Amino acid sequence: MKNSSQSNVTENKHLLLVPTRGYNYDKIDKVNQINLASAPLKFRAVSPAAERLRHILGDDDSTPTPTIFTEMDTLQHEGGELEWKESARWVKFEEKVEEGGERWSKPHVSTLTLHSLFELRTCLQTGSILLDLEGYSLPQIVDDIVDRQIADGLIPADLKEKISFVLLRKHRHQTKKPIHRSLADIGKKPVSCCVLFVDPAQSRSMNDISDTPSSDQLKNKFMKKIPRDAEASNVLIGEVDFLDKPFVSFVRLAQATTLGGLTEVPVPTRFLFILLGPHGKTKSYNEIGRAIATLMVDDLFSDVAYKARDREDLIAGVDEFLDEVIVLPPGEWDPKIRIEPPKKVPSSVLNLNELGQMNGSAGGAGGGEDEEMPVPHELGEELKFTGRIGGGLWLDIKRKLPWYCSDIYDGFHIQSISAVLFIYLGCITNAITFGGLLGDATDNYQGVMESFLGTALAGTVFCLFGGQPLIILSSTGPILIFEKLLYEFSKNNDIDYMELRLWIGLHSCLQCFLLVVSDASYIIKYMTRFTEEGFSSLISFIFISDAIKKMVGAFKYYPINRGFKPDYITAYKCECIAPDQGESSVLCMVYLDWSQLSKKECVKYGGTLVGNSCKYVPDLALMSFILFFGTYSMTVSLKKFKFSRYFPTKLRKLISDFSIFMSIMAFVGLDMLMGLDTPKLIVPTEFKPTRANRGWIVMPFGKNPWWWYLASFVPALLVTILIFMDQQISAVIVNRKENKLKKGCGYHLDLFWVGVLMAVCSFMGLPWYVAATVISIAHIDSLKMESESSAPGEQPQFLGVREQRLTGILVFVLTGLSIFLAPILQFIPMPVLYGVFLYMGVASLSGIQFWERIKLYLMPAKHQPDFSFLRHVPLRRVHLFTLVQIICLAVLWILKSTFLAIIFPVMILGLMVVRKLLDVMFSQHDLAWLDDILPDKDKKKKEDDKKKMKEKKTPEPESDEEVRGNETPGLETVFLYTNRLLHLISVLCV
């Protein structure tokens, strides 16, 4: 069955070809036209097969091709009768019936022999091809197939009844066991069948192909793995004794038709491939069947199969498939090994303009989607400089308004419940922590109650009306330090703190409005990955260090009993001694047995505890650490549970979504079971200000000199910079393209509402709030969506984030109601919540390239992950770039740990300056892979190209629109000249 032109290519049946549709490998030319050692494709013309497929697929009506379920049945001789037995199936990957016939194999990538593909091509060339056949039942279809073979002179007419008899035998699927088979036969390999001629009159009565699906088909749970619009492709392979040459037919039905028990699942059949041949080539026939089955689930070939007009179109599809497979040398690969499905399958949607041309791009190195050359840093239209007053704010409102209704009803999902519980616990822990610190710093002018009320008010308003409702507002460390310094300044200068703070908040609100109407958020475009990673890493490390610091402090309040020695346990005692006898205690002493009283009763009745074990307490520090690390470890384990092999997919996903809640409940239960007095969550129980002599409204006049109302503009400027940088950097991190957000963002609208809330919180004497980076990232992570229906072996694909406002609103409403939930919340140990803090800090580091590059310092080169930037940037340059980031992070850490933390926002601007100086140390190629190219670089290149074009052409007057388009906005001009000045300074320094 092999072409003579192909016989010299290979005879080694261990040579494997792996389908690699979507991978960027250099193509080889068609094996039946040019030898395998041909020149690279970029020096050759487009192949005829690719050119033909362009015309076939170019007429696409944009209707998606249905998913194909392929089943391969082989002809078997069971109990003296012929039957078709299911041997393999494909949705995307191959599953085989194991030799024992008792179970399916694991899904794996199909590995094909080159020989079988050539033989398949020959089969399609010599067999009968029936396209758009009108078929309504299997007997009618079989009659049409056999008649076509007779008409084409491929078989004699006297074989019609024999072939029809074989093709209409019953089909036994893996879910259906034969009743007549004895226990002794189980496990035996099927014997190759020999067809005995039966009276043709009985042939139609012996088949079990019904017109409707059987109950076994309808109950098959495998249907959950197949999309609803899927269609079937049936491959029938068998050996018979009445043929002297192969009987081959490829059929495409005009309409997909359910052919009864032909397929194991009730999926309508669209394609049929039949191969019957003489004895002696069982393995060869099976390999040809696997080859056509693999091609049918290939994205490109399935499109060709649906749109093919004739035989040559199908052959062109096979040729294109051959162009894209990769050969595995037989001496270096065991063909019995099953290749695991990849965790991430590259996109298989091919551009027709690229079909048949060189795979890959100028920056790629044959590694898939991630190997494409990084595009210049771009934040899209959200940060476009409009040049109009409030232009950016108006565009944000227009962008978000159409999505407002969906922002509500998209939140009605069980995943939202787990997100609400997780973020709620993080928010109340943060509110209590910062509330307590604010109370200490401001002499209780602001405390836990103000923190709860402010968090609930600011968060609810922001989630209702903000541009990016996935952002969570919270207090931050720099704001806490500013509040502390402001209170000390007011106290030392006899100035009313609350009134001064009110005017600072009002000035800051006004300054935020000025930034909004002037489109100042445009400067965020100059914040590359370098700045984002430095900021987010710092905040993550702060969460981690604070959680550990709180736990280390447990040893101070609950010291370990180092003096306790088990050998001297008889010497440890504690007795209750009655008080001195007096007139008031005579009556009590008569009726009390002081030696039997408990510790609390002894103290209550005025007794005295005497003994060297009276001060003994259990090792609460040890118990606290068990709760702390146990909560963190269990959360991490359950979060990864969706990738385990246990339990069904939906249950694994449910456990993963509720991992934090389950971990908290588990260790709260453990704490209650042990009954130890571990530190618990303290929640206010009364709705009143923390400080008795202040109300809920701060009056703006009457306590400070009038000139303070104007002078407060200066400290307000520092607060505005702090809020602007915190808010916008957190927004950039949340809106990263890898989160696949679809509803757009609203940088200007977010800043507007933060400014409004600044004024409201200042009037009510509540803390100021801004975007919390770590909690916002945790919110995003808890709402990530993955594909629910996936083929066997296919990893769930990340679809995006459940963008809605409901979870944030519920979190902050529950935070406000927490004062009424105090009886329940008081059972939660603080170490458990610190464990949640630790998880949030560690989880927010995942996916940060900076953190991955830090770990490269500890890895030998041969064990380093195959990151794309390591393929294109020398390792020493990668380490140098990472070292610069580590130094910047260390400087920021030192500053935030001192009183200079108040200038923390200015230092974030300093990161942008450092990034600008890196243009001198690194090439733009290296920065493109390690970071992002600054926008002005791309702009300068366009300007240079424009100047060259003007030099070539005669100067012509520009229209008014062109003049306006060439004008640089005022703010953009300032940044352009600032960048050029910094570049000049850096060059002089070098």
Task: List pLDDT tens digits, range 965-990.
Answer: 344 344 444 444 444 444 444 433 43
CA–CA separation, 573 and 511 (whole Å): 67
For the cut 60, the answer to whether the pLDDT of residue 582 exceeds it is no
At 493 the pLDDT is 82
Which parts of 204-363 fold into alpha helices (H)?
215-218, 282-296, 299-307, 311-324
At 953 the pLDDT is 53
Q: Which of 204-213, 235-244, 823-832 has the highest mean pLDDT?
A: 235-244
For the cut 80, the answer to whether the pLDDT of residue 832 exceeds it is yes
Residue 284 has phi, psi (to 5 degrees) of -65, -45
Task: Please indicate whether residue 611 or residue 923 has the higher confidence score (pLDDT).
Answer: 923
Q: Which of 275-279, 656-660, 736-740, 942-946 has the highest mean pLDDT?
A: 275-279
Total Cβ atoms within 10 A of residue 789: 13
What is the percent of the chain with per-residue pLDDT over 90, rounded to a whole number? 10
Beta bridge partners of 474: 770
Q: What is the mean pLDDT of residues 259-284?
A: 88
- Find the helix packing angle between 414-441 and 806-816, rounded to 10°: 40
Structure tokens that stand for 485 in this block: 């310094």
CA–CA separation, 491 and 489 (whole Å): 5
Nearest partner of 782 among 806, 807, 799, judged by Cα? 807
At 981 the pLDDT is 43
Buried residues in 680-709 as b, exposed as e (16+ CB within 10 A): bbebbeeeebbbeeeeeebeeeeebeeebb
* Residue 48 pLDDT grade (very low, low, confident, very high; cuts 50, 70, 90): confident
- Find the helix packing angle between 414-441 and 830-843, rounded to 10°: 110
CA–CA separation, 481 and 70 (whole Å): 66
Do 303 and 274 contact (CB within 8 A), yes or no? no
CA–CA separation, 458 and 472 (whole Å): 10
Helix (H, G, I), strand (E, B) or coil at 75: strand
Site of tokens 């445009």: 522
At 510 the pLDDT is 92
Do 90 and 294 contact (CB within 8 A), yes or no? yes
**Element holding 276 (H helix, E strand):** strand 269-277
Structure tokens that stand for 97 in this block: 């019936």
CA–CA separation, 868 and 373 (whole Å): 10
Task: Please indicate whether residue 938 or residue 214 has the higher confidence score (pLDDT).
Answer: 214
Q: What is the mean pLDDT of residues 324-333?
A: 80
Nearest partner of 736 among 683, 688, 773, judged by Cα? 773
Task: Please indicate whether residue 793 or residue 56 has the higher confidence score (pLDDT).
Answer: 56
For the cut 90, the answer to whether the pLDDT of residue 938 exceeds it is no
Q: Which range (34-38, 56-60, 103-107) has the least confidence? A: 34-38
Q: Which residue type sits at 571?
A: A
Q: Which residue type sits at 227?
A: P
For the cut 70, the answer to whether the pLDDT of residue 4 exceeds it is no
Do 576 and 604 contact (CB within 8 A), yes or no? no
At 271 the pLDDT is 94
**Element holding 81 (H helix, E strand):** strand 81-90
* Residue 418 pLDDT grade (very low, low, confident, very high; cuts 50, 70, 90): confident
CA–CA separation, 33 and 15 (whole Å): 20
pLDDT tens digits along 583-604: 444 444 555 667 677 777 777 7
Strands 231-239 and 269-277: parallel
Rounded to two decimals, the pTM is: 0.65
* Residue 562 pLDDT grade (very low, low, confident, very high; cuts 50, 70, 90): low
What is the percent of the chain with per-residue pLDDT over 70, rounded to a whole number? 74
CA–CA separation, 719 and 44 (whole Å): 63
Sketch out the chain's domains with CATH numbers.
69-175+225-324 (3.40.930.10), 391-543+682-846 (no CATH), 848-938 (no CATH)
CA–CA separation, 830 and 820 (whole Å): 19
* Residue 24 pLDDT grade (very low, low, confident, very high; cuts 50, 70, 90): very low
CA–CA separation, 37 and 17 (whole Å): 17
CA–CA separation, 344 and 797 (whole Å): 8
Residue 97 has phi, psi (to 5 degrees) of -80, 120
Nearest partner of 508 among 739, 708, 768, judged by Cα? 768
Helix (H, G, I), strand (E, B) or coil at 77: strand
The mean of the pLDDT values for the chain is 75
Structure tokens that stand for 597 in this block: 């009283």
At 490 the pLDDT is 83
CA–CA separation, 934 and 916 (whole Å): 8
CA–CA separation, 554 and 548 (whole Å): 10
For the cut 50, the answer to whether the pLDDT of residue 960 exceeds it is no
Contacts of 109 (CB under 8 A, 6+ apart): 18, 19, 93, 94, 338, 339, 340, 341, 342
* Residue 144 pLDDT grade (very low, low, confident, very high; cuts 50, 70, 90): very high
